[in-house]
Amino acid sequence: MTCTAKKCGIHFQPPSIILIYEDQNQEKTRKRIMPIRNFSKFSDCSRAAEQLKNNPRHKAYLESVSLRQLQKLYSLLKGHLKGQSLAQSLEQVQREEAIDPEEDMNKLDDKELAKRKSIMDELFEKNRKKKDDPDFVYNVEVVFPQDEQVESCGWDAESDEGF
Amino acid sequence: MAAAGGDARAELDVDVDVDAGPGQEKYDAEENVKIICLGDSAVGKSKLMERFLLDGYRPQQLSTFALTLYKHAASVDGKRVLVDFWDTAGQERFQSMHPSYYHKAHACIMVFDVQRKVTYKNLSNWYKELREFRPEIPCIVVANKIDADMKMTQKSFNFARKFNLPFYFVSAADGTNVVKLFSDAIKLAVAYKQNSGDFMDEVMRELENFDLQQKGEDFSDKEESCPEEKPPST
């Protein structure tokens, strides 16, 4: 079966993940409701997302849905179960999504580092020019003039003498 | 550790097996160069590597040495050059690299993420450590992930200027200046090797000769002939 995911969202009551997808064989748009069981406000969202993605019944349908997105949906549900408003949960998810430019990632453990990397990978994949893209160019050279007129990055200033 | 100069010989007494790792003798052979990558976690070192080599890469995970090796055959001035790119495989999280990582390196690519100030700040630590082991090798400073914020390319970063190092704005995602970066690094590595005036290299050679004389055996051509250490032909 070949299907292309169009939209993926969550339903709080009864808790379920909803997928709108296109069945390429029949050129039809379909909706799949995947009920969420055994999930509480204490559950681990990453694990729940992984389990759903690897569930033999849903696996084929969720291939083009990223693990990150499923995690986000579970986080929203978790927020709801904790009694947060949707706005609060969304804000929290967004906060977790943000990369702290001051954070020293050398000090993170494997799991935390992998989490940051997967957040940054989303942008990487979005901006990525792949080898098979029709407009792919192997050697892209761009000259960025670095004369005295350019503005300082502001990262040197306070401890320039440290370098 | 002491800076480069007269203390170098004393430093060599430190009991570290610098030859640890995949047979480093081969880097003495004329056609082999070793280029190392440095920089914080998640600045995109491996992604740059993979963008340059595309499908041609054959990374070797050497988990015993916390190291990923990428082999590449290049051509410089019509001559075939076998390049080993050394990537950190997470070793940067120990805040410093094992001395064998630096050993016999001919050039260094030092990467930071234009989105994260801390990775730029840490360049000075990486650079300091690099110079403890390799006082003279060419080092290129790389500002990666410019695709995330093109405005950063209009800013000046003083670190490279201060140490008079070549500086590139690159993006592993859209490919900007990636090929140029690696081609230039290979050229610099080869040029360095040809006119190696590195004090540490001289000391190393001297010590090796000294060792051989002491054993009273004639292995003077040892450096050229280590066929078992050569990488499989590409």
Q: What is the pLDDT of residues A97-107, one digit of tens each?
A: 788 888 999 88
Smallest CA–CA distance, residue A135 to chain B, in Å, is: 11
For residue B65, the model assigns a pLDDT of 66
ipTM given for this complex: 0.70
- What's phi and psi for A152, nearest 5 deg? -70, 150
CB contact under 8 A, A128 and B174: yes
Q: Please determine, for residue B167, whether its predicted confidence score (pLDDT) is greater than 50.
A: yes
Rounded mean pLDDT, B39-48: 93
Among chain B residues, the shortest Cα distance to A137 is held by B175
- What is the gyration radius of the CA atoms in chain A, in angstroms? 21
Place of tokens 């559950």: A43
Of A128 and B205, the one with more pLDDT? A128
Give the model confidence (pLDDT) of A42-59 as tens digits: 999 989 999 999 999 999
Mean pLDDT of A140-162: 75
Contacts of B155 in chain A (CB under 8 A): 150-154
Which residue of chain A is at minimal alpha-carbon distance from B147? A127
Q: Across the interface, do B152 and A159 touch by the CB < 8 Å criterion?
A: no
In angstroms, the Cα distances linking B189 to B6, B136, B201, B215 are: 25, 11, 14, 33
In this complex, do A141 and B179 lie within 8 Å of one another by their Cβ atoms?
A: yes
Measure the CA–CA gap between A156 and A154, rounded to whole angstroms.
Answer: 6
Query: CA–CA separation, B106 vs B81, rounded Å?
Result: 13
CATH architecture of B31-194: 3-Layer(aba) Sandwich (3.40)
Check CB contact under 8 Å for A144 and B153. yes
In tens, the pLDDT along B55-105 reads 766 677 776 667 888 989 999 988 999 999 999 877 888 778 889 999 999
Domain range annotation of chain B: 31-194
The angle subtended at Cα A112 by Cα B50 and Cα A80, nearest 5°, is: 120
Q: Which residues contact B203 (CB under 8 A, 6 or more apart)?
A: B8, B9, B12
What stretches of chain A adopt beta strand conformation (E)? 3-11, 16-23, 28-35, 151-152
| Residue A80: partners with Cβ closer than 8 Å, 6 or more residues away | A12, A86, A89
The whole-number pLDDT of residue B13 equals: 39
Residue indicated by tokens 């453990």? A109
Q: pLDDT value at position B212?
A: 54
pLDDT tens-digit map of B106-149: 999 999 999 999 999 999 999 999 999 999 999 999 999 999 99
Q: Are the Cβ atoms of A106 and B92 closer than 8 angstroms? A: yes
Q: Taking 60 as the threshold, does the pLDDT of residue B228 lie above it?
A: no
Mean pLDDT of A110-123: 88
The rounded mean pLDDT for chain A is 88
d(CA B50, CA A29): 37
Minimal C-alpha gap between A11 and chain B (Å): 33
Note the pLDDT of residue B200: 56
Chain A residue with Cα closest to B160: A163
